[in-house]
């Protein structure tokens, strides 16, 4: 469509960022939720620390309820999903009704999850909807600039942290010869107050001996 307004550019960026945040936190939360099912010990604090969010939760049950579904908690998954929706709903003519529909479906599924005794089932469907949203964005948005702005927003700290954790987990299960020191350095970089993207890329490039 060519020329893009300031507001829509901003919305595209935040749509990418919030959708990524929902996807990432949903995955992490689902893992925590699973481990909290049987645990008598309340260790939701570790989760808060790992995401650098304030621990405002009374206990495990309060954490499960409010971190997932607390509309008043700006860090909650539902808040992030609604922020993604707020941006998406004003971008119909940019991203198309089909792409937008996946965010809309994620909202409905989140409402179902809130009422359900088995929210993980619904979380899986939300994850599916977010993945479909990205796939649809790639497939159906003709304007390269629009796609790129969404993807720039899609990269955030938790995304990088998750990728580095995944890299650590995978690389030691391969035959690749890699630098232990480099891996430790990557984990430090991921936790640094300011992400140094260039340094992260250089460290990843030098990780494997060719």
# residues contacting other proteins (CB under 8 A): 21
Pick from 96, 182, 195, 206 the residue near other proteins by CB under 8 A. 96
Is 210 near other proteins (CB under 8 A)?
A: no
Task: Please list every residue from 52 through 71 that binds other proteins, using CB under 8 A.
Answer: none
User: Which secondary-structure segment (H or E) carries 4?
Assistant: none
The span from the CA of 69 to the CA of 89, in Å, is 21
Cα 150 to chain centroid, rounded: 13
Q: Which of 6, 37, 118, 210 binds other proteins (CB under 8 A)?
A: 6
131 binds other proteins, rule: CB under 8 A: no
Q: What is the DSSP letter of 193?
A: S
Give the whole-angstrom CA distance, residue 137 versus residue 3: 19
Q: How far is the CB of 190 from other proteins (least distance, A)?
A: 31
Q: How deeply is 27 buried, as exposed, middle or buried, from its count of CB atoms within 10 A (0-12, 13-18, 19+)? A: middle
| 112 near other proteins, judged by CB under 8 A | no
Which of 48, 51, 53, 105 binds other proteins (CB under 8 A)? It is 105
- 72 belongs to the binding site for other proteins (CB under 8 A): no
Rounded distance between C-alpha atoms, residue 43 and residue 55, angstroms: 11
Span of 37-45, 87-95, 117-125, 191-199 interacting with other proteins by CB under 8 A: 87-95
Task: Of 66, 90, 60, give the one whose Cα is nearest residue 78.
Answer: 66
Q: Does 196 bind other proteins (CB under 8 A)?
A: no
What is the C-alpha to C-alpha distance for residues 155 and 17, in angstroms, rounded to an integer? 7
Q: Judged by CB under 8 A, which of 42, 62, 65, 90 binds other proteins?
A: 90
Q: Assess 101 for contact with other proteins (CB under 8 A).
A: yes
Under the rule (CB under 8 A), what is the footprint of other proteins? 1-10, 89-90, 92-93, 96-97, 100-101, 104-105, 108
């Amino acid at each position: 469509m060519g020329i893009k307004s300031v507001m829509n550019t901003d919305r595209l960026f935040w749509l990418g960022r919030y959708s990524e945040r929902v996807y990432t936190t949903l995955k992490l939360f689902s893992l925590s939720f699973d481990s909290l099912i049987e645990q008598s010990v309340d260790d939701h604090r570790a989760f808060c620390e790992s995401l650098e969010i304030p621990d405002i939760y009374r206990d495990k049950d309060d954490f499960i309820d409010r971190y997932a579904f607390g509309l008043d908690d700006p860090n909650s998954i539902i808040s992030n999903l609604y922020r993604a929706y707020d941006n998406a709903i004003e971008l119909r003519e940019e991203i198309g009704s089909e792409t937008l529909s996946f965010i809309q479906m994620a909202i409905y599924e989140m409402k179902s999850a809130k009422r359900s005794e088995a929210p993980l089932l619904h979380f899986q469907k939300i994850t599916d909807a977010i993945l479909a949203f990205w796939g649809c964005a790639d497939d159906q948005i003709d304007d390269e600039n629009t796609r790129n702005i969404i993807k720039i927003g899609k990269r955030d700290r938790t995304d990088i942290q998750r990728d580095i954790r995944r890299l650590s987990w995978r690389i030691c299960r391969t035959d690749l010869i890699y630098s232990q020191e480099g891996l430790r350095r990557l984990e430090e970089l991921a936790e640094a107050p300011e992400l140094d993207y260039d340094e992260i890329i250089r460290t990843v490039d030098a990780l494997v001996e060719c």
